[in-house]
Amino acid sequence: MPYIWLLIFFLAPFAIIFKISLADPIIAQPPFTPSFNDAGDFQGTADNFAFLLTDKLYAITYLKSVFMATIATVLCLLLGFPMAYGIARASPATRSLLLLLVVLPFWISFLLRVYAWMGLLNNYGVINNALMWMGLIKQPLQLMYTDLAIYIGLVYSYLPFMILPLYATLERMDLDLLDAAQDLGASRTQAFWDITWPLARAGVIAGCLLVFIPAMGEYVIPYLLGGPESLLIGRVLFDEFFVNRDWPMASSVAIVLLLLLVVPIVFLQRSQAKNAEGAT
């Protein structure tokens, strides 16, 4: 039963996207021509893909999305790893409270969390007001509608996705190994890189992928926090669809995005399958 449900509502749509991505746009309802005529002959076109590959704007957008998602992932890791480490090493009672505090924002509407940052980063927002009040700056800093704002939004929204898998691996780790390493004369840094890091690697990989993949297709954060020139691929897709009403183009954009993400997604599933086997 769920199998059929998924087949209908998950797999079939992709076939349709693919079909429409080959179609020509026409201004009608629905706005595309059929790619197969009644006799079943193929009469679609690969124009959309050709355009996608030759047009500089799209290439730049894809690259920029990959770039920004990567930076956001690295920032999440830099902040998330010490946090997960600290949580995993805390006493059990504090640990559960600290975890709750990480998970809590995740339950609060994503949109509202991004909205909260709009209030902070605004030209007359909290941060600028505070800085001006302290006399550090005379003019409000332009914080909203910048790439910096997008990074903040991405890291803020996806930090729990990084912390939780990291915590899971760090918590399972056998602390005696560290003691043993130090008894054998390893320095703390050495012990960290030789023992903690390799053991945490599964968590690092899972966390990075869990941040990177959704960050690639992010629409709301660049729309609300980024400026009009911050074209990321999720936003291009959305606009192509809702503003230009060019459904075939939007479908093509989606297919290419999907192809870009297939590698990390398969990778994630592999590592998770391995984890599951290791756990049982």
Site for another protein in 185-244 (CB under 8 A): 188, 209-210, 213-214, 216-220, 223-224, 234, 237-238, 241-242
Residue placing its CB nearer to another protein in the complex, 42 or 107: 107
Please state the closest distance from residue 53 (CB atom) to another protein, in A. 19
Residue placing its CB nearer to another protein in the complex, 47 or 120: 120
**Helices assigned H by DSSP within 55-139:** 56-89, 92-107, 110-121, 126-133
- Please name every residue paired with 36 in a beta bridge, in sequence order, or none if there are none: 42
> Taking CB under 8 A as the rule, does residue 270 contact another protein?
no
- Interaction with another protein in 64-93: which residues (CB under 8 A)? 79-80, 82-83, 85-87, 89
Is 73 in contact with 212 (CB distance < 8 Å)? yes
Residue placing its CB nearer to another protein in the complex, 16 or 50: 16
Please state the closest distance from residue 163 (CB atom) to another protein, in A. 8
Which one-letter amino acid corresponds to residue 197? W
> Taking CB under 8 A as the rule, does residue 116 contact another protein?
yes
Residue placing its CB nearer to another protein in the complex, 7 or 57: 7
Is 114 in contact with 225 (CB distance < 8 Å)? yes
Please state the closest distance from residue 159 (CB atom) to another protein, in A. 7
> Taking CB under 8 A as the rule, does residue 259 contact another protein?
no
Residue 203: which residues within 8 A CB-CB, separation 6 or more? 84, 165, 166, 167, 168, 169, 170
- Interaction with another protein in 8-47: which residues (CB under 8 A)? 8-14, 16-17, 20, 30
The Cα 126–Cα 118 span in angstroms is 10
**Helices assigned H by DSSP within the chain:** 2-6, 12-21, 47-54, 56-89, 92-107, 110-121, 126-133, 147-172, 175-183, 188-191, 197-216, 220-225, 233-242, 247-279
Which one-letter amino acid corresponds to residue 54? T
> Taking CB under 8 A as the rule, does residue 256 contact another protein?
no
- Indicate left, alpha or beta for 40 from its phi (over 0: left) and psi (-120 to 50: alpha): left
Please state the closest distance from residue 216 (CB atom) to another protein, in A. 6
Which one-letter amino acid corresponds to residue 6? L
Please state the closest distance from residue 219 (CB atom) to another protein, in A. 6
What SS3 class is residue 169? helix
Please state the closest distance from residue 128 (CB atom) to another protein, in A. 9
Please state the closest distance from residue 43 (CB atom) to another protein, in A. 17
- Between the CA atoms of 253, 143, 113 and 134, what dihedral angle is there, to the nearest 10 degrees? 170
Residue placing its CB nearer to another protein in the complex, 13 or 198: 13
> 52, 68, 72, 102: which one contacts another protein (CB under 8 A)?
102
- Interaction with another protein in 168-187: which residues (CB under 8 A)? none
> Taking CB under 8 A as the rule, does residue 111 contact another protein?
yes
